[in-house]
Structure 1
Amino acid sequence: MRYTFLFSFLISLQSFAQKPSVNASKQLDYCVAQLKKAVPEQTDYAREPRRIPAGQKNWNTVAVTDWTSGFWPGTLWYAYEYAKDPFLKAKAEGFTESLATVLNKPVVDHDLGFQFYCSYGNGYRLTKSPAYKKILLRAADSLATLFNPKVGTILSWPRPVPNMEWPQHNTIMDNMINLELLFWASKNGGSKKLYDIAVSHATTTMKNHFRPDWTSYHVVVYDKQTGRKIKGVTHQGYADNSMWARGQAWAIYGFTMSYRESGRNEFLETAQKTADVFIKNLPADHVPYWDFNAPDIPDAPRDASAAAVVSSALLELSTLVKDKALQVKYRAEAEAMLASLSSDTYQSHAVNNAFLLHSTGHKPNNSEIDVSINYADYYYIEALLRLNKLQEAEK
């Protein structure tokens, strides 16, 4: 058995060595250069860049209340972390601090984690600003008000959304990412109940969001009084029984993070199972179509944002699993994704001022198809930073 394992591990190493390599620092330099083209165009801190449609160079912006509003300042913080450029820091501060007004109104959905942990969270990590910490704790407490103890999850859309049987309780897979704000707050001066809410949400999602093959529903609708599962829906995917690429990406990332924060083995196992089915069904260039079951493959739109999310998650997962062969597998797949994303096919360069091309937002709604989008850039630079730290450590 010992020699069988060794042989398998050596084969995995050989396979890893044959994967396209990524020079993380070179690609981070590219990201910083792209940002320095884009930032001078953004002079209104109350408007956050969200997308660049085909044929345009500059970012279209949205109000700070938009669910994606934290990704632009988060990207600036990541760029500052790498480049140590005071200009980038000042811009990150301006776009971050404009988000504070979001907390002055009643919570309209679950996306406070995306909005505040990506922006204020990275800002606090790098500056230790007491003001940033205070905002993060406020955001966590606001997010916790959407928790329904009868169901065991945070309500995602506290308003009528088609096919969600409002006023029943709905939870979307994206919400797994917002748990990081609660985990952080519970360990940094917030209530310990925030940790319990995060664990409850992840556990309930783990039990109800997955099909037997570990592909995921985008949404599960629950009876708000009893917690009974009413149905699973794939709101932004091709069909209710299809694997929507970014939904599966949120699952991989969310359960990897939840294991890191809680140490619960069932979350690690879920992260692995959701990652394995994603990897198994990828096309040759390792960048998924917007939905793995789209009927018009290979002509269906790609989703670079899903690849960016998963590449970042897999790099972390490779450091959390104990099996050496799995460490190699997940690291190799992450680098293969990043190699494609870093190619001329997916990088923007002179096409526009983003990092990446070819993301898909909401295909069934005919919204943001084949565009550059802020969360693709955010998770791409996050993945490159993670890879850069691994490569620097190996030196």
Structure 2
Amino acid sequence: MTSTPLPARTLETERAIARVLATVRRNVGSFGAAYPDDTTTDGARYPLRPAANGFAEGANRGWTTSFWPGMQWIAWELTGEDVFRDAASAHAADFGRRVHDGEDLDTHDLGFLYSLACVAPSRLLGDSAARAAALDAAGHLMRRFLPSAGIVQAWGDLADAAQRGRTIIDSLMNMPLLTWAARETGDPLFAEAVARHTDQLRRHILRPDGSTFHTFYWDAETGEPLRGATEQGAFDDSCWARGQAWGIYGFALNHRATGDPALLAASRTCAEYFLAHLPADGVPYWDLVYTDGSDAPRDSSAGAIAVCGLYELAALDPAHAARWREAADRILASLAEDYAPAQPADSDAVLLHSVYDLPKDVGIDEGTLWGDYFYLEALMRAARPDWRPYW
């Protein structure tokens, strides 16, 4: 019997997945229990995370380490290969140690860290130790909730005057850890924090024209909204591409969690602005103020995040699902064709041409751990539309 050929897009997606899996498999052997740095060097190789502030080289510190085991969990779901599960499980145990020992926890990025490293194995394997670690991390994250302002503070010690009352659009992606904890424990305080925080970002970090601030400040004592600004974008009033992508995905995820229709509308608004400011190939410049003809760097990681958000939006917004899915497919095809290494051996990264922080001259035109993760998640969503994300 002759089988029916798969659509070309499905075959291309499967080929792209195969290339990613080859790189992840090689990197598991190369890095072992250690953690690669945030970005590649010269677009090719990830060095080990450098020693700093009492942490050894390759130690579990910073906000990006979970993207590495997150890729391993997706790889295991795709293949069933023990090598991926065993590597990811070892990292889950290390994340348990990190939260137990209180190492580098003064950040809202506990959501990024523990959703991928520990919520995933709790759900996939019934790993009780990972579940306990994720719940502990959610408790730490709740300490950053400022009731007067109704926001989760982004960075720094809560007594740091420079960071007090400040949050960033990335924080939308940290709320799913609290949503998960609310389901696991039945404690309504987690869900209340999510509802208040996301509403505050919708009201203040999302601008009337559909663009977004990167960061926003509130008076931590009175709760008064103060001002928007940027940390990694071109200007305070420009639109940082990765932040806009966080808005698409983050507002959609939090609509799924809360049922608030205003959050779905916010995701749509972010998506429309993002799509309207893309260059011809569909992959954004690092800030959306730049357009075709600019020599500014691209940020492929923002494109990968946006693809995941658009697929999520398509699932939540059936009236416009075809539009969101078509846009996601188009961006993902461009990433696979022109922004991924031609051969797995060419780079430790699976997605090239990302930007970490251009104003600080960090990670420009490099592979990034989050770009790699969201590219693989985007491919997983394209190939397996019924796949359940870890957020």
- If the length of structure 2 is used for normalisation, what is the TM-score? 0.89
Deviation at residue 88 of structure 1 after TM alignment: 0.9
- Which residue of the partner structure matches residue 122 of structure 2? 124
Q: Which amino acid in the other structure matches residue 342 of structure 1?
A: A
Residues 1:284 and 2:280 are matched in the alignment: yes
- Of 357, 364, 379, 1:362 maps to 357
160 and 362 in structure 1: CA distance in 2 versus 1, 3 angstrom threshold = farther
Where structure 1 has 5 or more consecutive residues not aligned to the other structure, the ranges are 1-18
| Contact 2:96/2:130 (<8 A) preserved | no
Deviation at residue 216 of structure 1 after TM alignment: 0.4
| Contact 1:113/1:180 (<8 A) preserved | yes
Deviation at residue 159 of structure 1 after TM alignment: 4.3
- Of 329, 333, 337, 1:335 maps to 329
- Which residue of the partner structure matches residue 264 of structure 2? 268
- Which residue of the partner structure matches residue 371 of structure 1? 366
- Of 149, 154, 157, 2:155 maps to 157
305 and 345 in structure 1: CA distance in 2 versus 1, 3 angstrom threshold = closer
- Which residue of the partner structure matches residue 340 of structure 2? 346
Where structure 2 has 5 or more consecutive residues not aligned to the other structure, the ranges are 1-7, 50-57
SS of the residue corresponding to residue 191 of structure 2 reads helix
Residues 1:385 and 2:380 are matched in the alignment: yes
Q: How many residues align?
A: 370
Whole-Å Cα distance in 2 between the matches of residues 70 and 248 of structure 1?
22
354 and 46 in structure 1: CA distance in 2 versus 1, 3 angstrom threshold = closer
Q: Which amino acid in the other structure matches residue 116 of structure 1?
A: Y
Q: Which amino acid in the other structure matches residue 50 of structure 1?
A: D
- Which residue of the partner structure matches residue 39 of structure 1? 28
| Contact 1:215/1:243 (<8 A) preserved | yes
Q: Which amino acid in the other structure matches residue 34 of structure 1?
A: T
Whole-Å Cα distance in 1 between the matches of residues 176 and 158 of structure 2?
26
SS of the residue corresponding to residue 390 of structure 1 reads coil
21 and 279 in structure 1: CA distance in 2 versus 1, 3 angstrom threshold = farther
- Of 251, 257, 260, 1:255 maps to 251
| Contact 2:341/2:347 (<8 A) preserved | no
Q: Which amino acid in the other structure matches residue 330 of structure 1?
A: W
| Contact 1:20/1:336 (<8 A) preserved | no
| Contact 2:73/2:84 (<8 A) preserved | yes
* Residue-by-residue CA offset, 1:57-115 (whole Å, 9 max, x unaligned): 34443531211011101111111110110011111111222122332227311110011
| Contact 1:51/1:60 (<8 A) preserved | no
| Contact 2:304/2:332 (<8 A) preserved | yes
- Which residue of the partner structure matches residue 28 of structure 1? 17
Measured on the aligned residues, the alpha-carbon RMSD in Å equals 2.3
SS of the residue corresponding to residue 220 of structure 1 reads strand
Residues 1:105 and 2:99 are matched in the alignment: no
- Which residue of the partner structure matches residue 5 of structure 2? none
Pairing of 1:50-69 with structure 2 (within 5 A): 50-54=38-42, 56-61=44-49, 62-69=58-65
134 and 55 in structure 1: CA distance in 2 versus 1, 3 angstrom threshold = closer
Q: Which amino acid in the other structure matches residue 41 of structure 1?
A: S
Whole-Å Cα distance in 1 between the matches of residues 169 and 184 of structure 2?
25
- The percent identity for this pair of structures is 31
Whole-Å Cα distance in 2 between the matches of residues 109 and 263 of structure 1?
27
